[in-house]
Each structure stands twice: as structure tokens, then as C-alpha cells.
């Protein structure tokens, strides 16, 4: 594996955000979680559902700070954030490091106790790696996506074929 492809690999893999053991992450010392929205928490463009709302309530109960970090527009992201009661950054320009850092600063966390959860290598995971934070790649919720995402997914599959197996590989 070379540096070019290595920068796209997450720290961990999970089948779904709803299968992650968040109590264990808290025990490991994580205090802040950055989340992508579309195809990570809900299908693309859908509002927060009961499962997402319950997840964020559980995360607050555990003691986590959460931040939604999305490349989507203001209306989409702020509406979703209001539903799950989380802070957010819209138009994040992922994989740029700037808004990963802004979210950590707002949460009062840093690279050592923040983790990113997302479904795309070239935005979510690459941005986390560039910022120096751990990441969890989840399988996309929705099978059918916009054409530009379909092309990225094909390239992602090629990269993931050569992926190293992290400690918790559940894929």
C-alpha cells in the first residue's frame, strides 16, 4: 500500500452507525463525534428519523459532544441538526481540514478525543485523516445515489479492495 491510497483508509469499519458501540468509544476516551448526515445517518435528503433522534439522545446521555459536518446547504443541515439537537456546519467543503478543526474547537475536543463517522472515503474519511483524527467508515444506507456519487463509489471500491484490516473489521 502506498501513501496515495493509505490516506483514504479509515481507522475502523462498521456496517452501520446504528451498530457502533458508543459506550466503548467513550471508555476509549473519545468525547466528540463528528457525523456526516446523508447515507450515514439517514438516506440522502431524508429528515431525521426516530432512530437518528434516539441515537443523538443516547450520545448526549453517555456524555458525548456531537457535531454534524456536511457539504450540504444550510437549510438541509440546520433542519437535520435541529431535529437531532446537535450543532452543525453546513457547506463544510470536506475534505478541507478547516471545518473539522472548527467543530472540534466548538466542542472543546481535539485530535486525540474526537472521531469522525461517515460513509465516503474522498470526503469524510480523507478529511478526518488530513486533520489527524480517527474515523469510522460505515456502509451507505441508500443503494441508489446521484450519478456523481455512483462514480466515486466505484473508485472507493477499487481502493477498499486493497484495504488493510483494522482491529475491528466487521465488513
Stated pTM of the model? 0.83
Three-state DSSP string of the chain = CCHHHHCCCCCEEECCHHHCCHHHHHHCCCCEEEECCECCCECCCCCCCHHHHHHHHHHHHHCCEEEEECCCCHHHHHHHHHHHCCEEECCCCCCCCHHHHHHHHHHCCCCCCEEEEECCHHHHHHHHHHHCCEEEEECCCCCCCCHHHHHHHHHHHHHHCCCCCCCCCCC
| pLDDT value, residue 9 | 82
Q: Name which of 54-58, 143-147, 156-160 the model is least confident about.
A: 143-147
| pLDDT value, residue 4 | 46
For 4-43, write each residue's pLDDT tens digit: 446 778 999 999 999 999 999 999 999 999 999 999 999 9
Q: Which domains does the chain have, with CATH numbers?
A: 15-160 (3.40.50.1000)
Amino acid at each position: 500500500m502506498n501513501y496515495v491510497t493509505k490516506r483514504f483508509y479509515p481507522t475502523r469499519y462498521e456496517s452501520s452507525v446504528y451498530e457502533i458501540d458508543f459506550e466503548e468509544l467513550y471508555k476509549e476516551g473519545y468525547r466528540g463525534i463528528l457525523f456526516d448526515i446523508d447515507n450515514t445517518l439517514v438516506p440522502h435528503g431524508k429528515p431525521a428519523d426516530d432512530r437518528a433522534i434516539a441515537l443523538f439522545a443516547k450520545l448526549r446521555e453517555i456524555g458525548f459532544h456531537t457535531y454534524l459536518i456536511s457539504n450540504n446547504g444550510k437549510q438541509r443541515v440546520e433542519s437535520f441538526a435541529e431535529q437531532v439537537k446537535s450543532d452543525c456546519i453546513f457547506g463544510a467543503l470536506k475534505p478541507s481540514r478547516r471545518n473539522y478543526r472548527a467543530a472540534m474547537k466548538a466542542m472543546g475536543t481535539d485530535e486525540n478525543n474526537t472521531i469522525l463517522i461517515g460513509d465516503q472515503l474522498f470526503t469524510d474519511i480523507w478529511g478526518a485523516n488530513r486533520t489527524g483524527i480517527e474515523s469510522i467508515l460505515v456502509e451507505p444506507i441508500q443503494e441508489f445515489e446521484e450519478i456523481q456519487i455512483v462514480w466515486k463509489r466505484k473508485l472507493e471500491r477499487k481502493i477498499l479492495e486493497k484495504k488493510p484490516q483494522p482491529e475491528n473489521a466487521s465488513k
